[in-house]
Amino acid sequence: MEITGAVDEVRKQVKEWRKQGLSVGLVPTMGYLHEGHKSLIDRAAAENDKVVVSDFVNPIQFGVNEDLATYPRDIEADKRLCEQAGADLIFHPEPEEMYAPDFSTYVEMQKVSERLCGKTRPTHFRGVCTVVCKLFHIVMPDRAYFGQKDAQQLAVIRRMVRDLNIDIEIVGCPIIREKDGLAKSSRNTYLNPKERKAALVLSKAVFCGEDMMKKGERDADTILAAMRKLIEAEPLAKIDYVEMVDADRIEPITKAEGRVLTALAVYIGKTRLIDNFIMEV
């Protein structure tokens, strides 16, 4: 496995693979890799001859008061996980390699990026779309792998690829959870032991909503009210949003019908965590 911080090196390597007729999968990440990331890399390795993992804490997807400076980083542990999972190349650039001092071109999306996380983090998806578009142009993979953990991000990427005619297959992968239900996230490391316990309200709310829908409940307000009640019972939790939307358009729905995304964001102390479930009804 190779690691490089240089765009040119990635291009050279991928061209070499292309000459040999090999297929390429890309897994974009911000590093501090865990089992959730590993599931994406495993899947990419199973479906492609070569796998590139990008490991880059993208500054432009963080708002001014967010956790860019404290976001956890451990490239040595990331290398080990990537190697184990069967990655062939890690792209680990410095911000200067990705953003020239006079960088001035962004990918802006309307609608799909405006609700849920886009409401609380108004510049977030502009940063995500821009960096993912850049990574697509640098690597030019056949397929790219994203987790359903970030369900709105997945919908946004699918829309960008459709709207801009980007010839890359987007593969969505299921949420990987801790044994007790908490969705794995690099940000879980921010939680102290008390908060870690309190964070279980996110998955509990997700399982509660899922269960209600499985039992036939279709009214969004009824399902969301039960989920909110569960979260509000936890003193360390503060709801950012709990919403039901169309999973592709990310527009609110009052009745569960079609491909439904029920998503939530909750502050546990100062840490903002997200979780969701998608159900076809």
Known binding positions for beta-alanine: 61
Task: Kindly identify the residues of this chain, within the stretch 155-174, that bind ligand AMP according to CB under 6 A.
Answer: 173
CA dist 76 and 266 (Å) reads: 31
Q: Residue 273 pairs with which residues in a beta bridge?
A: 266
| Cα dist from 69 to 58, 98, 272, whole Å | 11, 17, 16
Closest distance of CB 149 from ligand AMP, Å: 4
Sheet holding 271-280, edge to edge: 237-246, 259-268, 271-280
Helices (H), 140-250: 151-163, 193-198, 200-214, 220-232
Nearer to ligand AMP, 177 or 218 (CB): 177
Classify residue 256 by burial, with Cβ atoms within 10 Å: 0-12, 13-18, 19+. Answer: buried
Closest distance of CB 269 from ligand AMP, Å: 19
Closest distance of CB 185 from ligand AMP, Å: 6
Closest distance of CB 32 from ligand AMP, Å: 7
Task: Kindly identify the residues of this chain, within the stretch 179-238, that bind ligand AMP according to CB under 6 A.
Answer: 183-186
Rule CB under 6 A: choose which of 24, 30, 41, 160 binds ligand AMP.
30
Which of these ranges, 72-80, 100-108, 177-185, 249-257, lies near ligand AMP under the rule CB under 6 A? 177-185
Burial pattern 123-135, b for ≥16 Cβ within 10 A else e, equals bbbbbbbbbbbbb
CA dist 45 and 37 (Å) reads: 12
| CB of 107 closer than 8 Å to CB of 126 | yes
Rule CB under 6 A: choose which of 25, 37, 139, 262 binds ligand AMP.
37
Nearer to ligand AMP, 171 or 239 (CB): 171
User: Does residue 82 belong to the site contacting ligand AMP (CB under 6 A)?
Assistant: no
Which of these ranges, 64-72, 76-84, 144-152, 261-269, lies near ligand AMP under the rule CB under 6 A? 144-152
Nearer to ligand AMP, 48 or 186 (CB): 186
Which of these ranges, 3-11, 86-94, 147-155, 241-249, lies near ligand AMP under the rule CB under 6 A? 147-155
Closest distance of CB 240 from ligand AMP, Å: 17
Between strands 259-268 and 237-246, the pairing is: antiparallel
User: Does residue 143 belong to the site contacting ligand AMP (CB under 6 A)?
Assistant: no
Which of these ranges, 35-43, 101-109, 190-198, 236-244, lies near ligand AMP under the rule CB under 6 A? 35-43
CB nearest ligand AMP: which residue?
Answer: 147
Active site residue 124: no
Q: In terms of Cα–Cα distance, which of 98, 96, 78, 88 is closest to 29? A: 78
CA dist 230 and 42 (Å) reads: 35
CA dist 58 and 121 (Å) reads: 15
User: Within 10 Å of residue 2's Cβ, how many Cβ atoms?
Assistant: 12
Binding site for ligand AMP (CB under 6 A): 29-30, 36-37, 39-40, 146-147, 149-150, 173, 175-176, 183-186
Q: List the catalytic residues.
A: 37
